[in-house]
Amino acid sequence: MQQKQLIAIILVIAVVAAAAVGAVFLMKGGSSGDTKYTVTYNTNGGNEIAAKEFTKNTDTFDLATPTKDGSTFLGWYLNADFSGDKITQIAKGTEKNITVYAKWQLDLANNTLPSAAQITANTDVKVTFDSGASDKTISNDILDELKAGKTLTIEDTVSKVSWTFDGAASKDIEYTAESLNTTVTVTETATQVNPQATLSFTHSGKLPYPSTVKYFFGTDFVGQSVTVKNGSTLEVLGPFTVDSEGYVEFEIDHCSPWTITVSYNVTFDANGGQIDGAGTKTIVVAHNDTVGELPVPSRTGYDVYAWDPVANANDVITAAKTYTAQWTANSYTVKYYKNAEDATGSVDDQPLQYGNLAALSSGAGLARQGYTLSGWNTAADGSGTAYDLAGNVSNLTAVNNGTFNLYAQWTVNQYPATAIIGETAIRSNVPAGWTNNNNGSFTKNFNYGTSADDIIADFGSNAEN
């Protein structure tokens, strides 16, 4: 009986312990995969957005889009000062609580200038002007407020041009104006016949901050390349590409008339040669501008070239164009030397052209008693580069009107000498270098010009051995 009670007590303790462990496990979220995190939306004055829970196993999801009267949403940031990259999603696998901060652009009504306080209270402010605007002057105190890293955009909906002043750059110490008149007049608009536009600014001189200008160049020019040229300093910016809505965007740091012009690629093809280390060179030339200084191509073995079509620095460009180098191969002469005073005859000079394959002279017409012409060499003593008689060659020298010298190489002929000592003197010990003819005679080859005395001496000295 006592044993049964003891077993029952042990079972009860085990059940209670298991329940306690389970309770602790549940309090911790069940498993690491079920741990809940929260994304909190700080809308900075926009509509309230409820926080959203997620786990590391939650699929990637997009952040909600807030709204705010009179403002345009510019994106979510992880830092309250909007530093770092903009984010749009929470990725699967994220294991931390996140707070995102909404960045806004304050959109002011037509013809309403911002106050310094509005610049201070917002990171980005956009002002829209239309034809009814009578004053487009931004005061100096407003410009000073931009120094905290604020951005001010002024858009003229009539001229379809906007300026964006980014205060993240230090204020230009050369800027001394107390205010900035942002009026822009489009004095010339682009057409297919004359694809350029000119913007004239009421403000003259330096700007307090580098400013991005965005201008509606026209939907007829979408995707085309344009350059921007300053009418006073002749500074050229670009090239830029007209975007899908017909706008072109560029940055300036001072004002005066700027002309936006369709530009074209002008390509110089070296056609086997090189220009500045490459096979081609492309420059960008604005419509109706001239080519300017022509590049100079180079090609080994070709010193003379001409551009096709003919190119001149004052060529006026109205469309994309390619100039191709047409080369004239260098000419050179091969000179042959008989390379021995006792040799007779001669070989005519041989004119060759770089890039062409040709056969060298066979040496016909040269003769030397006791010698055979065996080849050509770039060195008289045979220590240079050897070439076969009548061998095919090309590109012996790249020097235009140069000379390539070849020297005849002679091999001395050999002739047999026979020593006859009679039938009774057939020897078993054949002299070194001699052949026993087994008929009482011995034979050995000697170079042309060897004397009889030397031959007899050779036979005798070797026979004694």
- Asked whether the domain spanning 331-412 has the same topology as the one spanning 30-108, the reply is yes
| Confidence label for 14 from pLDDT (cuts 50, 70 and 90) | very low
Query: Does residue 17 have a pLDDT over 90?
Result: no
pLDDT for residue 427: 57
DSSP-derived secondary structure letter, 302: B
What is the amino acid identity at position 334?
Answer: V
What superfamily in CATH does domain 30-108 come from? Listeria-Bacteroides repeat domain (2.60.40.4270)
Fold exhibited by the domain 331-412: Immunoglobulin-like (2.60.40)
Q: Which of 54, 53, 63, 58 is nearest to 92 (CA)?
A: 58
What is the tens place of the pLDDT at every residue in 320-370? 999 999 999 999 999 999 999 999 999 999 999 999 999 999 999 999 999
Query: Does residue 111 have a pLDDT over 90?
Result: no
pTM summary value: 0.66
Token reading at 229: 């040229």
- Strand partners for 101: 42, 77
The count of residues in the chain is 465
pLDDT for residue 28: 40
Secondary structure element (H or E) that encloses residue 217, with its range: none
For residues 33 and 262, the model is more confident at 262
* Residue 213: other Cβ atoms inside 10 A: 21
Q: In this structure, are strands 205-216 and 225-230 parallel, antiparallel, or unpaired?
A: unpaired
- Strand partners for 321: 266
Average pLDDT of span 131-139: 74
pLDDT for residue 184: 86
Query: Does residue 31 have a pLDDT over 80?
Result: no
Query: Does residue 202 have a pLDDT over 70?
Result: yes
Query: Does residue 8 have a pLDDT over 70?
Result: no
pLDDT for residue 129: 87
Show me where the domains of the chain are located.
30-108, 109-327, 331-412, 415-464
Secondary structure element (H or E) that encloses residue 145, with its range: helix 140-145
- Share the mean pLDDT of the chain: 87
Helices (H), 86-128: 116-121
Q: Determine the distance from the C-alpha atom of residue 422 to the mean position of all C-alpha atoms in its chain, rounded to a whole number.
A: 89
Query: Does residue 439 have a pLDDT over 70?
Result: yes
pLDDT for residue 22: 40
Contact yes or no for 165/150 (Cβ under 8 A):
no
> Residue 124 contacts by C-beta under 8 Å, 6 or more apart in sequence?
74, 103, 104, 105, 106, 150, 151, 152, 153
pLDDT for residue 352: 98
What is the amino acid identity at position 347?
Answer: V
The span from the CA of 409 to the CA of 422, in Å, is: 41
Q: Write out the DSSP string of 333-344.
A: EEEEE---TT-B
The span from the CA of 222 to the CA of 195, in Å, is: 12
The span from the CA of 28 to the CA of 1, in Å, is: 42
Rounded to the nearest 5 percent, the helix, strand and coil shares of the chain are 15, 40, 45
pLDDT above 90: percentage of residues in the chain: 62
